[in-house]
Structures are given as structure tokens and as C-alpha cells.
Amino acid sequence: MKAALSAGFENPPVQASHAFRMLMTAMAQPGIVQFLPFEIDFPKPLNAGSAMIMLTLLDHETPAWVDQDLSQDPVLDYLKFHCGSPIAKTPRNAMFAFFKHCPDQTVLSDFAIGTPEYPDSSTTYVIQLDHLTPDGDVALSGPGIQTVNTFGAAGLNHSFWEWAKRNHAEFPLGNDVFLASNDAIVALPRSVRILEMA
Amino acid sequence: MSHDEDQIALRQRWISILAKADSNKLLDLWSKKPETDAFQVLRKPETGLVMVRGRMGGTGAPFNAGEATVTRCSVRSTAGHVGHSYVMGRNHDHAMIAAKIDAQLQDETRFETVMSEIVEPLAEYQSEAKQINREKVAATKVDFFTMVRGED
């Protein structure tokens, strides 16, 4: 028998609003760690943060791309049942991309970065990490940040930061990133300037 | 037919019977069963509209006949079986019970009892109702014929 389906939000209208508010705050205040407002049921190898993003932001109009490690029946069933999202055939068509581990910069460069007319038609990345902490070595500045915001992220490699700097240089095009752990979320929109990295 | 196709046809039959069942009848049969199972609700009963499409004469080009109110629900049993239901109307209890029964019927150890306690009585009741309707219709049947008018 196939692995049983996980339940999503217990009370979808209310919980989706709270989760959406949290994600919006995260994007508006880059580098500030937002803790998940409640617990949800999700299948492994997703984590709570990425599952919450999936349930909140994805629907039948947002093709999703999941990396090889996440591309397993429990995750795909969860995505299909709760969000109804199609699976993107190529990275270029994806509105959201989910990664179990920090991907290499060559992978991150495969996705859509938007067009000058529609910079919003780029892929949003969701990268699963083990830990996110309010203090750490990453320092950011830019829109939404008064002076400097710092946070700690375990599991991001050098290649990712190289990519992030180039991503910022391409503004207003580029990709927005959510870092997701089991209890928190940090957003790195394309507008953010990276001062120091882990 | 392969085994899988048999299973699909079988499930289609019981889902159809559960969906079309009279709500009161279904609730009545369900309440008589000793409820021992716990279910996790994957999707609470929610009501929405679906577009019903038809074909002229059954074979013509499809057209939108109109919208119907439908309530759907999904549950998971402790054994891990996922039951779904799509029921016409707004009866949330009906949708919930139909989904639970669908989950129980997928459990091979429960299949026989649930089938004989709930699904077969409902099927019998439905075919009886159909038969009564058929008889009523047959009784009002009118045969049209034209008298010879002798003009030619």
C-alpha cells in the first residue's frame, strides 16, 4: 500500500491567513527569523517550513519543481492533494522550486528570473535547512532593513552566496528565496544586499 | 479485465452508491454500526460548485448544462486508508460518513461486513426506488396514433 497522505492545515482559511501573514512579514523584513505560528502535519522529506510555504502559496496556477531528493510519492501526493499544483517539466516553467539541500549555483541559474515587463514571473526558491537562528554570521542590508540584519543558517554553501550576490546584481530581475527549517523561515528577496556570509 | 481494473470498478460502484444514497438512510445505517474507528480528517467537508456538462442525445458535442452544489470530504483511517467522497448537495454529515465508509471498504478485513451492513442495503433501497419510479412512469405512458382520415 502507498504511504498514507498527510493532513494539511487543520483549519485552512484561518491557518492559511496566519501563515501568509508570516511569509509576507518575512519578505518585508529580510533576514529576520520568523518562527512558524503553529504546527502542521507534513510528509518527510519535507520540513515544516517548506510544507507551510507549499500549503500557503501554491495552487493549480503555480507549477512546482521539486529536486530529486524531494521527488518522492508522499511529497508529490501531498502537493497534488492539498495544492493541486502541476509539476513543472522544466525548471524554466516553475513558479516555485523546492530543494532538500542547498543547491549548487549552476542549478540555481537554471530557473526563470522574470522579464523586464514581468519581473514577477520568476521562480521562487524554497531551500530546506536544518537550523535557522536569530543570531549568526550572515549580515544583510537593503530595502526593509534599517541598518543591518543578521541571522544564522546552517547548511548554506559558498556557491549559494556567490549566486546570491549575482542574483542581487540582476535586480529588478532575479529570484526570491525562502530558507525553511522545521520551526522557522527567513526570506532573502532579490533586493537584499549581502554584507557578510556564513 | 485485470485485477486492478476489477478493483477500480468495484470502488466506483460503492462510491456511486454512497454518493447517491438518501442522507437519512445513510446516517441511520451508520449510527447503527458500532463505531470503533478513529479517523483523521484530511479535508473537512467543504461545499462548492461544479459545472455539470452534458451531451445532446448522449453522443453530441459537450455543453455546460449548469452548476451543481457539491460537498467533498477526505479522511484517513488509523490503518492508513484514505477515503474520499463527492456528494451532491450541502449535507456535510453525508459527505463525512461517505468518506469514512470509503476508507473502511479499502481495508480488506472490513470489506465484507461494511459492504453487507451499509452498501448493499443502500443499493437495494436505490434499485427499489428506481423500480417504483419506473412503474409510475410506465403507468402514465401514452401511445400516440392517428386515425385514418379518409382523405386519400
Residue A89 identity (one-letter amino acid): K
Share above pLDDT 90 across residues of chain B, in percent, rounded to a whole number: 56
What does the pLDDT average to over A108-136? 93
Contact across the interface for B82 and A7, Cβ inside 8 Å: no
Contact residues on chain B for A6, CB-CB shorter than 8 A? 42
Task: Round to whole Å and give the CA distance between B11 and B106.
Answer: 8
Contact residues on chain B for A3, CB-CB shorter than 8 A? 80
Confidence category of residue B1, pLDDT binned at 50, 70, 90: low
* Pairing mode of beta strands A184-188, A177-180: antiparallel
Confidence category of residue A3, pLDDT binned at 50, 70, 90: low
Say if residue A198's pLDDT is above 70.
no
C-alpha cell at B126: 436505490
What does the pLDDT average to over A82-97? 93
- The beta strands (E) that lie in A46-130 are given as 64-66, 96-99, 124-128
Alpha-carbon gap: A14 to the closest alpha carbon of chain B (Å): 13
What does the pLDDT average to over A136-150? 91
Contact across the interface for A4 and B41, Cβ inside 8 Å: no
Say if residue A156's pLDDT is above 60.
yes
Contact across the interface for A4 and B74, Cβ inside 8 Å: no
Question: Which pLDDT score is estimated for A1?
Answer: 45
Contact across the interface for A5 and B81, Cβ inside 8 Å: no
